[in-house]
Amino acid sequence: MIEEKIKVLREGNVKANKYIIYWMQSAQRAKNNPALNYAIKKANQIEVPLIVFFNLTDQFPDANYRHYYFMLEGLKEVEKELAKKGIKFVVKIGDPTKNVTKLIKDAVFLISDRGYLKIERKWKEEVAENINCRFVLINTNTIVPVDIASDKEEYAAYTIRKKITNKLERFLRKPEQEKLKLNSLKIKLNGINLGKIEEIIKQLDIDMEIEKSNILIGGRNQAVKKLNNFIKEKLKKYQEYGSNPDQNITSYLSPYLHFGQISPSFIYQKVQESGIGAEDFLEQLVVRRELSFNFVYYNQNYDNLLGDILPNWAVKTLNEHQADQKENIYSLQDLENHDTHDPYWNAAQKEMVVSGYMNGYMRMYWGKKLLEWTENYQSAFQRILYLNNKYLLDGRDPNGFAGAAWIFGKHDRAWKERKIFGKVRYMNKAGLERKFNMKKYINRVDNLY
C-alpha cells in the first residue's frame, strides 16, 4: 500500500481484540478495492478476523428509491463475493455514526474508504471523535489522492492536468493480493438480510416516487460487462464520436463509479491494455473527474452558488446580465415533465427521468438552457442540482456538483458577451443541429425509453 493513500483520522493503539472492521461506504465492491486489501493485510498481521460493515441510512441528501435500488443490487453482489473470501458482511440500517460507534467496541482497528462530500466527511469525523481505536481512511475512488494531486483548489483542467498525470504511474501499481487467514463468517453479528430489495427499501424514509432505471442494473459484474462492451464496440469510435448524442458512444460507467462499484484504476488499466487510442476518454476519466473531486474537497460551498465557487469574471458578468429579459420562463413542473418548446432539451430530460442517465454533451446543453429559462442564475443552479440529484444515478456526486457549476463558468474561460449569459459559454439548438443528427437522438430516446 502506498503510504499517501492512507489518511489517519484517529491515532490509537492497535490492541488485542475480536476483529478488524472495514466500514465500506464509497467503495462498494469486493474486487480492486484498496481499502479492503489493506484491511485484509492488517487482519493477517494482527491475526484477527475481518468484518466488513455497511450502513444503510435515509439521511443521505436527495437519495431516493432509484438510487437505493441500484445500490442494493450491488451490495447483494458484494455479500456473495466477500463470503467467497471468508469475510462476514454486516449491513445495518440507521445513523451511521451511532451504528459504527457501537460496533467498534470490540474492534482492534477501524478502516474505511475515503469520501469527499461534506456529509461523508462529517460522518467519519464524528466517528473519530467517539472511538478509542486507530481509524484510517484509504483512498479508493480517485486514482491519485486529492490532497496528493494538489494542495489547493485548482482553477481549471489545464492547471491540474500535469499534477495528476505526473503521479499516475506511481498510483496505478497493482498491490499484492493477500488471502485472509482467519474466516469470520461464523461470527455472530446482527444485520439485515439483503435478499429482498423491496422489503429493505420499505424500512427507509425516502422518496419512493422515482422508479428504478430501465436500462441500468447495479453491481460490479454489470459494470465490468459495460466496460468490456465499451472497449470492444465503442472505444475506437469514442475519439471522434464520443460527444455525439445521436451515436450513443458512451460507456455508461459513471453510475458505477459514483457508487464505487468499479475502480477508476481498473478502468484505466483495462483501457490501456486494449491498445486503442483513448486520450479523450482518459481525459474524462482521470483529469476531468479528479478535478471535480478537487473542487468539492477544497471548496465547501460546492453546492451553493452564493458561496465563493465561481471565478470573479463569471460572477461579475452574470450579475451584469441578471435583469436581461428572458423569452421563456418555465416552472419546475414543466421541466420535470419535459414540457418545453425545445424538442432536444425535452429528449435529454426524458432520457434522465426514465433511465437515470443522460448523454454527456446533452448534459451541458440541458444545463445552459436552465440558465436561460429560469428567473435568475442562482435559482437556475439550484434547479440543476435538484434535477440532477433526483433523477441521475450518478447525481449527488463531485462530478455532478462540478458540472452544475461549470454551466455558470466554473473551470471555464470567458467567451463572447451576449444577452443573459454575459461572457459565460453559450449553447444553442443551431449548434446541436450543425454538429449532430438530432432527429436520430430524439428517436433513440423515444425507442429505448
330 and 409 inside one domain: yes
Which residue, 298, 321, 352, sits at the end of a domain? 298
pLDDT band at 269 (very low <50, low <70, confident <90, very high): very high
Which distant-in-sequence residues (6+ apart) come within 8 Å of 397 by Cβ?
A: 254, 258, 292
pLDDT band at 157 (very low <50, low <70, confident <90, very high): very high
The reply to whether 205 falls in a domain is no
pLDDT band at 14 (very low <50, low <70, confident <90, very high): low
- Give the domain CATH number at 146: 1.25.40.80
6 and 30 inside one domain: yes
The reply to whether 208 falls in a domain is no
Q: What is the mean pLDDT of residues 141-163?
A: 97
Q: What is the mean pLDDT of residues 125-145?
A: 94
* Predicted local confidence at residue 178, as pLDDT: 85
The full DSSP string for 113-140 is E---SHHHHHHHHHHHHT--SEEEEE--
Helix axes 343-355, 438-448, angle to 10 degrees: 30
Summarised one tens digit per residue, pLDDT across range 403-416 is: 999 999 999 999 99
Closest CA to 347 of 244, 445, 214: 445
Summarised one tens digit per residue, pLDDT across range 299-331 is: 999 999 988 999 999 999 999 999 999 999 999
User: Which residue reads 444577452 in cell numbers?
Assistant: 419
Instruction: Characterize 387-414 residue by residue with b for buried, 16 or more Cβ atoms within 10 angstroms of its Cβ, and e for exposed.
Output: bbbbbbbbbbbbbbbbbbbbbbbbbbee
Overall number of domains in the chain: 3
Q: Is the pLDDT of residue 175 over 80?
A: no
363 and 310 inside one domain: yes
Please give the span between the terminal C-alpha atoms of the chain, in angstroms, as a whole number.
Answer: 44
C-alpha cell belonging to residue 371: 440558465
* Predicted local confidence at residue 390, as pLDDT: 98
pLDDT band at 44 (very low <50, low <70, confident <90, very high): very high
pLDDT band at 148 (very low <50, low <70, confident <90, very high): very high
pLDDT band at 2 (very low <50, low <70, confident <90, very high): confident
291 and 304 inside one domain: no
- Give the domain CATH number at 346: 1.10.579.10
For 86: left if phi > 0, alpha if psi spans -120 to 50, otherwise beta; the answer is: left
pLDDT band at 1 (very low <50, low <70, confident <90, very high): low
Most confident of 58-62, 131-135, 187-191, 406-410: 406-410
pTM above 0.75, yes or no: yes
CA distances from 395 to 27, 76, 384, 439 (A): 16, 22, 10, 27
Q: Is the pLDDT of residue 377 over 90?
A: yes
6 and 80 inside one domain: yes
408 and 341 inside one domain: yes
293 and 308 inside one domain: no
**Separation of alpha carbons 393 and 152, rounded Å:** 29
pLDDT band at 106 (very low <50, low <70, confident <90, very high): confident
* Predicted local confidence at residue 271, as pLDDT: 98
* Predicted local confidence at residue 449, as pLDDT: 66
Q: What is the mean pLDDT of residues 358-378?
A: 97
Q: Is the pLDDT of residue 13 over 70?
A: no
Q: What is the mean pLDDT of residues 142-168?
A: 97
234 and 367 inside one domain: no
Mean pLDDT of the residues in the chain: 95
Structural domain range at position 272? 142-174+220-298
